[in-house]
């Protein structure tokens, strides 16, 4: 399943790169992204079962799935989900051959260009143009919007920092989900400041802080020569405001 997802994700990069308007291609993309979403759900379910066994269980993805399949209480349920998903992936792979996609992994130079293109596209385009739809995306959007806009019971709760992570395999629609939340009407009403930062693999603290200040409409005249100065300027920009910060395309936890 993992190998098929990696191969199909390379075709997905080609579909995104082409900006094709053909409905059959959009249908294929939706099917693949939904399958990726389901694959993540299977892994999440296994992780949940491991957590239930206690904190001593510290395993990688392979051992995690192996544990689930060896446990008779979980093997039947996980096995059925896995079998059904594998069949869908085979069908999706067959369909991709009729659409003449290119496996971009064969072109090392193109891969870097495609990644740069996709980062720019994610930052510049609206969520409706990204072509990801589905009940699960909509459901997760509603759930996270509800969590972010939930009224706190006391003033101390109101002042706390809430952190939510959207994780999953590449191409599953994490950025799209975040965009839908970020642009939701309830979010716009709830937060006085909204900051979107696209991080990617090569980032600097100074660059992130400068962009955050710009998004927060901070003091552009303030000196910006040190990290400490930038942090103070950003703090002044968001002070007294309920602020939503989204960090997209994070590869390194040090960015947070």
Of 27, 77, 23, whose CA–CA distance to 49 is shortest?
77
List pLDDT tens digits, range 187-213: 999 999 999 998 877 788 888 888 899
List pLDDT tens digits, range 5-26: 555 665 665 555 555 556 777 7
List pLDDT tens digits, range 42-84: 776 666 655 555 544 444 444 444 455 455 555 666 677 778 8
- The C-alpha atoms of residue 247 and residue 256 are separated, in whole angstroms, by 8
Angle between helix 23-52 and helix 72-98 axes, rounded to 10 deg:
160
Q: What is the pLDDT of residue 51?
A: 53
- pLDDT > 70 fraction of the chain, expressed in percent and rounded: 55
Q: What is the pLDDT of residue 111?
A: 46
pLDDT of residue 242 exceeding 50, the answer is yes
164 contacts 213 by C-beta, under 8 angstroms: no
Helix (H/G/I), strand (E/B), else coil: 256: coil
Average pLDDT over residues 107-129: 48
Helix (H/G/I), strand (E/B), else coil: 246: strand
Could you tell me the pLDDT band of residue 153, with boundaries at 50, 70 and 90? low
- The C-alpha atoms of residue 23 and residue 128 are separated, in whole angstroms, by 15
- The C-alpha atoms of residue 191 and residue 198 are separated, in whole angstroms, by 19
Which backbone phi and psi does 248 adopt, to 5 degrees? -100, 150
For the chain, the structural domain boundaries read 2-126, 136-255
Helix (H/G/I), strand (E/B), else coil: 243: strand
Q: 106 to each of 9, 15, 52, 102, 231, how far by Cα in Å?
A: 13, 15, 42, 8, 43
Whole-structure pTM over 0.75, yes or no? no
């Amino acid at each position: 399943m993992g190998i098929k997802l990696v191969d199909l994700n390379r075709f997905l990069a080609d579909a995104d790169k082409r900006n094709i308007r053909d409905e059959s291609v959009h249908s294929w993309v939706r099917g693949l992204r939904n399958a990726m979403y389901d694959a993540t759900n299977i892994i999440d379910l296994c992780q949940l079962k491991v957590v239930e066994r206690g904190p001593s269980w510290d395993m990688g993805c392979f051992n995690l799935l192996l544990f689930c399949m060896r446990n008779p209480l979980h093997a039947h349920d996980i096995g059925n989900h896995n079998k059904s998903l594998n069949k869908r992936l085979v069908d999706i792979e067959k369909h991709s051959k009729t659409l003449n996609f290119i496996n971009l992994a064969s072109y090392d130079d193109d891969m870097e260009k495609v990644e740069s293109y996709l980062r720019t596209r994610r930052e510049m385009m609206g969520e409706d143009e990204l072509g990801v739809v589905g009940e699960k995306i909509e459901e997760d959007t509603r759930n996270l919007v509800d969590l972010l806009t939930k009224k706190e019971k006391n003033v101390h709760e109101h002042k706390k920092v809430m952190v939510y992570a959207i994780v999953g395999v590449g191409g599953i629609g994490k950025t799209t989900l975040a965009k839908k939340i970020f642009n939701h009407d309830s979010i716009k009403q709830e937060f006085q400041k909204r900051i979107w930062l696209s991080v990617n693999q090569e980032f600097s603290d100074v660059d992130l802080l400068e962009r955050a200040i710009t998004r927060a409409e901070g003091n552009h005249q303030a000196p910006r020569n040190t990290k400490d100065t930038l942090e103070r300027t950003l703090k002044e920009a968001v002070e007294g405001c309920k602020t939503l910060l989204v960090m997209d395309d994070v590869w390194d936890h040090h960015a947070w």
